[in-house]
Amino acid sequence: MHPGEPFLIAYSRISDDWRKHNKKKAATSSWAAGKGVANQHRRNDRNAARHGAVIVHRYTDNDLSAAKRDVVRPDFQAMLRDLRRGLTPEGYPVHGIIVVDQDRAQRTDRDWEDLVEALTLVPSRRFYTPSGPMDLTDEAEILKTGVMAVVNKVESLKKKRRIRDWHQDRILDGLPHSGPRPFGWKEDRETLEPEEAEYLGWSIDERIKGKSMTTLCAEAKKRELTGSLGGEIVPTTLTQMMTAPRVCGYRANRGELVLDDDGSPIVGVWETVTTPEKWRAVCATFGDGSTYLARGSGTRSITGIPKTVKYLGSSLLRCQYRIPEEKSDGTVTTRVCNARIAGVRASSKRSPYVYSCSKCSHNAISGPMVDKLLERLVLTKLKQAEATYIKPEMSWPKESQLRQKADKLAGLEAQWSSDEISDAMFYRLAPSLEKEVRKLQRERAQFELAAESKQEAPNEVARKWLSGEYDLSQKRQVLFEMFAAVQVLPGQRGNKTPNPKRLIPVWN
Ligand SMILES: [Zn+2]
């Protein structure tokens, strides 16, 4: 070593493992230029020599994918420490760092900022690429490297997408899935397991019609069904089973539907449990984030009707007690309480529960009497409705609009992947289009849900009500659709005779 030769540290990072699985892309990709660690170090040696510098220490990280933002790079961190110290582990002074290109050192903007900060603690230190040393305290260089940052960010995004494509290719090629057998299918994952499939299909239908998850899970227990690993079927697992795209034949990968070039879902070879329409409808009964596609679970109720209610009329009933109010001038007026009344358990034999206003505590009424009356009102109304019932139209009016947008998005993606349009253009246009498509898809699911649940004829609803086919939450759904509220007039003190005239229905 000659005095005056700058001492450099070299940093290499390997992040190309996805290429191994995709020969065609690798052949055409600039990444194929070879960024293996050995290659990078060899090139660093050559470049350092060319610029009259000596490499005194090497740092190497292997983080497979720069697109995975949470990957920790131990050597990168060690390098930053050494830069701040100004010495390599062996005790050499550091005059600069060398890389084969900037993106090696700059996986994220944050990384880059940290590196620039550590390097320029000593302003004379330089950042070497094959084209030579750069002074990162210089405004012009900062600008130049800043532009590189944007380019690299796009590259990272693009790569993320390529990785996703690769997983998709695997699925399209029919490579085996991992994990346990899906509930509803035999070990071959293609043939239906009759009892499970029948239950799953039934659950989807009943959920669309409004049955609570508790009711559906109780049915599984009655049928002595368990999950494919033997566990009890609880709302969480059942939610995942019902909303898995596989039930209607759709393929999914890592929480995303697998789409063909036109943006339509790819249909698998296995037997199905339900139709795509019903699958979308059942997904719409759960909140965002609770379906299989969002990798979670939950049992949010379909309507705004509060769940975990024990009595038919709870919160539909409104207290009509008039609360006296004294004004500042001494006159007394009254104001209607109007609180929602809930059912509570009572000790009386004739009335094991009562609806009682907890706000004013001046209004209580026999539970069974109210429920009987509500039922009579519902059945009468259904009878009237049957006379004028027309089966509603089922097709969603915006279907062509959705198809148009989806086509446009697919076209854009095709142009992008064949390099007809620039990354910048793609990232400017695609997100808003994607958002619109997703919004329309959600709308369609909501529509189908509404159509599925509303198409039932009134006399069919009445039959189910009477036969016990409806559970409490379904009955309440019918009630809330029919009534805006049912007003409850306060009873007379001491009068124990049930008086149905205390109820005043407010029809929707
Ligand atoms: Zn009240």
335 is a domain residue: yes
Q: Are residues 265 and 283 in the same domain?
A: yes
At 9, is the pLDDT very low, low, confident or very high (cuts 50, 70, 90)? Answer: very high
- Say what the pLDDT of residue 392 is: 65
At 71, is the pLDDT very low, low, confident or very high (cuts 50, 70, 90)? Answer: low
Q: Is this prediction's pTM over 0.75?
A: no
Q: What is the Å distance from ligand 1's center to 481 Cα?
A: 24
pLDDT in tens, 427-445: 778 878 888 888 888 888 7
Q: Which of 225, 65, 249 is nearest to 159 (CA)?
A: 65
Residue ending a domain, among 438, 454, 470, is 454
184 is a domain residue: no
- pLDDT, greater one: 446 or 469: 469
Q: Are residues 332 and 375 in the same domain?
A: yes
- Say what the pLDDT of residue 393 is: 66
pLDDT in tens, 41-62: 788 888 898 888 999 999 887 7
87 is a domain residue: yes
Q: What is the Å distance from ligand 1's center to 349 Cα?
A: 24
- pLDDT, greater one: 52 or 308: 52
Q: What is the Å distance from ligand 1's center to 342 Cα?
A: 11
**Alpha carbon distances (Å) from 147 to 102, 153, 326:** 11, 10, 73
- Say what the pLDDT of residue 317 is: 94
Q: What is the Å distance from ligand 1's center to 503 Cα?
A: 14
Q: Are residues 143 and 68 in the same domain?
A: yes
Does residue 477 surpass a pLDDT of 80?
yes
- Say what the pLDDT of residue 148 is: 60
Q: How far apart are CA 442 and CA 440, in angstroms?
A: 5
pLDDT in tens, 318-345: 999 998 888 888 888 888 999 999 988 8
Mean pLDDT confidence for 281-288: 77
Between strands 483-488 and 317-319, the pairing is: parallel
Q: Are residues 357 and 469 in the same domain?
A: yes
Inter-residue contact 492 to 321 (CB < 8 Å): no
**Alpha carbon distances (Å) from 415 to 66, 228, 266, 424, 425:** 25, 43, 21, 13, 11
pLDDT in tens, 248-257: 888 776 566 7
- Say what the pLDDT of residue 503 is: 92
Q: Are residues 462 and 426 in the same domain?
A: no
Inter-residue contact 454 to 286 (CB < 8 Å): no
Q: Are residues 363 and 378 in the same domain?
A: yes
301 is a domain residue: no
- Say what the pLDDT of residue 288 is: 57
CATH code at position 253: 3.90.1750.20
Q: Are residues 470 and 425 in the same domain?
A: no
Does residue 1 surpass a pLDDT of 50?
no
- Say what the pLDDT of residue 341 is: 92
Q: What is the Å distance from ligand 1's center to 341 Cα?
A: 8
Range of the domain at 413: 399-454
Q: Are residues 355 and 234 in the same domain?
A: no
Question: How many domains in the chain?
Answer: 4
Tokens linked to 471: 């559970």
248-255, long-range: CB < 8 A, 24+ apart = 248/272, 248/273, 248/274, 248/275, 248/276, 248/278, 248/279, 249/276, 250/276, 250/279, 251/171, 252/292, 252/293, 253/167, 253/168, 253/171, 254/164, 254/167, 255/292, 255/293, 255/294, 255/295
Mean pLDDT confidence for 9-34: 51
163 is a domain residue: yes
Q: What is the Å distance from ligand 1's center to 339 Cα?
A: 5
Between strands 322-326 and 317-319, the pairing is: unpaired
pLDDT in tens, 219-230: 999 999 998 888
1 is a domain residue: no
- How confident is the prediction for the chain on average, in pLDDT? 78
Window from 14-28, 177-191, 272-286, 435-449 with minimum mean pLDDT: 14-28
At 187, is the pLDDT very low, low, confident or very high (cuts 50, 70, 90)? Answer: confident
Q: Are residues 147 and 289 in the same domain?
A: no
Q: What is the Å distance from ligand 1's center to 495 Cα?
A: 18
At 173, is the pLDDT very low, low, confident or very high (cuts 50, 70, 90)? Answer: very low
Q: Are residues 362 and 283 in the same domain?
A: no
183 is a domain residue: no
Q: Are residues 227 and 215 in the same domain?
A: yes
- Say what the pLDDT of residue 24 is: 41
CATH code at position 118: 3.40.50.1390
Q: What is the Å distance from ligand 1's center to 367 Cα?
A: 16
Q: What is the Å distance from ligand 1's center to 505 Cα?
A: 17
- Say what the pLDDT of residue 233 is: 92
- pLDDT, greater one: 179 or 275: 275
At 140, is the pLDDT very low, low, confident or very high (cuts 50, 70, 90)? Answer: low
One-letter amino acid for residue 137 of the chain: T
Mean pLDDT confidence for 375-382: 92
Q: Are residues 114 and 68 in the same domain?
A: yes
- Say what the pLDDT of residue 8 is: 94
Residues with a beta carbon under 5 angstroms from ion ligand 1: 319, 321, 337, 339, 357, 359-360, 363
118 is a domain residue: yes
Window from 21-25, 114-118, 341-345, 504-508 with minimum mean pLDDT: 21-25
Does residue 299 surpass a pLDDT of 60?
no
